[in-house]
C-alpha cells in the first residue's frame, strides 16, 4: 500500500509540472496558412508575363479608294517642236524667252537679245505713208504698235534660225496664240521679205483685202531704206 501511495504522488507531481510548462509557453500559435497561389491566379500571372508574339509578315495592302498614294514623278519636259517658215521641223532649237521690248514692226529684243522676225519686212520706224486724200500716215509707228499688240498676247518665244549682217538673230517668234511673223503680214503691216516667198500668199491676201499698208500709198520697206540710207 505504501508503494502505491508513492507512485500516485509521483504522478501528481509530473502532471502538475507539465501543466506549469504549458502556461509558461503561452497559447499555441495558429496553424500557418499556405502562401502558394491558387491555380487560377498563377495562370493569369503567366499569361501577363508572356510577351505577345509579333504578327507574321504580310504583303502591303493595295490602297483603297480613300487612301492617298504618292504622286508619280513628273515626266521630263519634251524639247520644243518648231516648224520653220520653210515648213521644216526643227525640234532641237531652244527658243529665246524673257522680257520683250519692241523696236519696230519687225525687230525686238527678247531677254536682252536683239531679234529680227525672219521672212518679213515691216515699214521702218520713221517711214511714212499717205492715205487716199494725201494725208501723212505714220505707218512705221503703226507697224510697231501692231507688233507690240502681238507681244502683249505673250509669252513670246523666238526660235533662232540664223543671224543677219547687223548681228541680230533671225527668228521665228510666237505668242500664246499664233506665229507673230505670219500675223504681221496677214494684218497688212509687213510684207514678205524681198526675195523670200515664205509669206507671199499672206501678203497677196492682205493686198486683195486692202488691209494695213495695202490701203495706203507706200514704198516697200527695202525701197524706202535705199532712198533713205542711215
Joined grid coordinates for residue 204: 497677196
Under the banding of pLDDT at 50, 70 and 90, the label for residue 109 is very high
Enumerate the domain spans of the chain.
97-227
In the block, cell 500716215 appears at 137
Q: How many CB atoms lie within 10 A of CB 174?
A: 23
DSSP state of 215: G
Convert the pLDDT of each residue in 89-105 to its tens digit.
Answer: 444 568 999 999 999 99
| C-alpha cell recorded at residue 60 | 502591303
pTM: 0.61
Residue 195, sorted as left (phi over 0), alpha (psi -120 to 50) or beta, turns out to be left
Question: Per CATH, which fold does 97-227 belong to?
Answer: OB fold (Dihydrolipoamide Acetyltransferase, E2P) (2.40.50)
Contact 151, 143 (CB under 8 A): no
pLDDT, residue 169, reads: 97
Amino acid at each position: 500500500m505504501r508503494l502505491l501511495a508513492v507512485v500516485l504522488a509521483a504522478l501528481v507531481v509530473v502532471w502538475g509540472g507539465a501543466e506549469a510548462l504549458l502556461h509558461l509557453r503561452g497559447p499555441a500559435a495558429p496553424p500557418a496558412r499556405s502562401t502558394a497561389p491558387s491555380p487560377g491566379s498563377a495562370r493569369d500571372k503567366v499569361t501577363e508575363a508572356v510577351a505577345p508574339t509579333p504578327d507574321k509578315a504580310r504583303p502591303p495592302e493595295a490602297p483603297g479608294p480613300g487612301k492617298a498614294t504618292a504622286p508619280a514623278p513628273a515626266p521630263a519636259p519634251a524639247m520644243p517642236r518648231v516648224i520653220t517658215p520653210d515648213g521644216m521641223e526643227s525640234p532641237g532649237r531652244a527658243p529665246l524667252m524673257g522680257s520683250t521690248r519692241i523696236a519696230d514692226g519687225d525687230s525686238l529684243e527678247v531677254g536682252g537679245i536683239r531679234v529680227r522676225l525672219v521672212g518679213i519686212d515691216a515699214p521702218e520706224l520713221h517711214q511714212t505713208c499717205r492715205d487716199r486724200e494725201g494725208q501723212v500716215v505714220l505707218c512705221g509707228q503703226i507697224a510697231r504698235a501692231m507688233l507690240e499688240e502681238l507681244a502683249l498676247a505673250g509669252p513670246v518665244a523666238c526660235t533662232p534660225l540664223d543671224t543677219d549682217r547687223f548681228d541680230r538673230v533671225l527668228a521665228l517668234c510666237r505668242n500664246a496664240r499664233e506665229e507673230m511673223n505670219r500675223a504681221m503680214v496677214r494684218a497688212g503691216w509687213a510684207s514678205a521679205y524681198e526675195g523670200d516667198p515664205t509669206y507671199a500668199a499672206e501678203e497677196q491676201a492682205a493686198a486683195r483685202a486692202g488691209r494695213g499698208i495695202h490701203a495706203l500709198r507706200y514704198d516697200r520697206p527695202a525701197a524706202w531704206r535705199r532712198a533713205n540710207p542711215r
